[in-house]
Amino acid sequence: MDPLYQEHILEHYKHPHNRGLMEGFDVKKKGENISCGDDLTLYLKWNLAAQAGGDTLLDISFEGFGCAISQSGASMLTDKVKGMMRADIAKLTEKDMYELYGTVISPQREKCALLALSTLHSAL
């Protein structure tokens, strides 16, 4: 893995964005990677008002523990999806997630890398 991308991932791991329990959430969804023990809980707050244009994600946060790949992925993904429409979030793919990492993740770490995305999709 390129040292520049490794630094990017470690920075999100050491200083995660949107980490912590959210008050007044609308949806709480837990995701786990039982093969390695990664654990993630997402909290979502939606703006359902018609004047806002529909289902817009107002805020998102996460709690959990695990490897640098899974936890940094949660940090990066929560940054990306704030303010997005539910339909657009549903269209996010594995490719989008790997673009956030900025590098190729080994096949052995795919479940770690995609935990946040799969948990978010199941929360929709």
How does pLDDT run across 18-53, given as a tens digit for each residue? 999 999 999 999 999 998 899 999 999 998 765 555
Exposure on the CB side of residue 47, measured as CA atoms within 13 A: 14
Q: What is the CATH number of the domain that holds 27?
A: 3.90.1010.10
Looking at the structure of the chain, the number of domains it has is 1
Name the phi and psi angles at 31, rounded to 5: -130, 145
Cα distances (angstroms) measured from residue 47 to each of 16, 50, 52, 83, 94 = 24, 9, 7, 9, 26
Positions of the chain with pLDDT under 50: none
Domain of residue 34, residue span: 3-123
Which pTM value belongs to this model? 0.91
